[in-house]
């Protein structure tokens, strides 16, 4: 099933994102227990991020996506980046996904790594999206940035660039993580005024540890509203209290988004099934009945 069809069937699509094991030598199967537990939450789909470096990086993504779709019978969204991939490598990944009945792909440029040679077959995510759409047989998703991409001159320019993704065949969008819902509502209003009618899922990451603050938050470029920074400063030295407060913040944020009419919620759970469950328990009454 193409994911974009889900938005026609329910008011709020709920999904969870995972990433392939990062530990050197770790097999994809080490993630399977987490996936099985996530499936008990009844997500509409589970997305799998793309490994860094191009080349064979997509093999883990494809294998995990295949397990989600064929082993757990949940729709999978396989991420695919092009910054370090040739056209041939992209075609090989798409062939494997098709053979494994994975029908949905998130087209991304990917982060530029100064230590790796950049491939020039696809300069932008929209170029990759167009190639996937022309291949046929895939639903194509795209990324968007409520506060503007870090390389974009302005939020307005970034919103205007979404036209290229829509024209390339992208059928729904997932936002970068954000902590201030005002940013999402402002972005959505600008997108609609620009004529972009694609469903937009809000990407939310619960911050439940000091490590996340030091790494993820610092690198995301997301603005931090006063209530978030107060939470961090108050519980910075209390691990359990920070965990509990982080879950509560995410739940409050998501509940506001759902009641505010968000097309969907995409949970960046960082392979932590417990975090995903706690957040889900706090919002399940607002989600459509699982089928």
> What residues are annotated to the active site?
17
What is the rounded CA–CA span in Å between residue 174 and residue 198?
10
**SS3 track for the chain:** CCHHHHHHHCCCEEEEEECCCCCCCCCHHHHHHHHHHHHCCCCCEEEECCCCCCHHHHHHHHHHHHHHHHHCCCEEEEEEECCCCCHHHHHHHHHHHHHCCCCEEEEECCCCCCCCCCCCCCCCHHHHHHHHHHHCCCEEEEEECCCCCCCCCCHHHHHHHHHHHHHHCCCEEEECCCCCHHHHHHHHHHHHHCCCCCCEEEEECCCCCHHHHHHHHHHHCCCCCHHHHHHHHHHCCCHHHHHHHHHHHHHHHHHHHHHCCCCEEEEECCCCHHHHHHHHHHHHHHCCCCC
Alpha-carbon distance values, 224 to 143, 181, 192, 231 (Å)? 21, 11, 25, 11
Q: Dmax over Cα atoms in the chain, in whole Å?
A: 52
Alpha-carbon distance values, 34 to 46, 76, 160, 185, 264 (Å)? 12, 15, 38, 32, 22
């Amino acid at each position: 099933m193409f994911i974009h069809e889900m938005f026609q069937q329910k008011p709020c699509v709920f999904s969870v994102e995972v990433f392939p094991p990062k530990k050197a030598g770790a097999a994809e199967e080490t993630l399977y227990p987490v996936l099985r537990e996530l499936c008990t939450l009844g997500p509409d789909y589970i997305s799998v991020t793309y490994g860094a470096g191009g080349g064979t990086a997509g093999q883990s993504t494809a294998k995990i996506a295949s397990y989600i779709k064929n082993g757990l019978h949940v729709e999978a969204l396989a991420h695919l980046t092009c910054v370090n991939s040739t056209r041939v490598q992209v075609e090989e990944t798409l062939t494997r996904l098709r053979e494994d009945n994975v029908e949905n792909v998130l087209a991304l440029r990917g982060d530029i790594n100064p230590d790796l040679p950049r491939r020039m077959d696809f300069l932008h995510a929209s170029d990759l999206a167009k190639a996937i759409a022309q291949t046929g047989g895939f639903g194509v998703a795209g990324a968007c940035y409520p506060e503007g991409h870090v390389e974009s001159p302005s939020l307005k320019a970034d919103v205007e660039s979404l036209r290229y993704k829509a024209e390339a065949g992208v059928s729904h969008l997932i936002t970068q993580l954000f902590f201030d819902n005002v940013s999402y509502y402002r972005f959505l209003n600008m997108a609609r005024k620009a004529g972009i009618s694609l469903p937009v899922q809000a990407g939310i990451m619960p911050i439940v540890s000091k490590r996340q603050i030091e790494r993820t938050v610092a690198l995301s470029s997301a603005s931090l509203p006063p209530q978030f920074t107060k939470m961090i400063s108050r519980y910075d030295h209390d691990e359990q209290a920070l965990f509990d407060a982080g879950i509560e913040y995410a739940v409050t944020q998501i509940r506001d988004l759902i009641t505010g009419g968000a097309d969907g919620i995409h949970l960046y759970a960082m392979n932590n099934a417990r975090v995903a469950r706690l957040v889900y328990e706090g919002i399940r009454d607002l989600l459509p009945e699982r089928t």
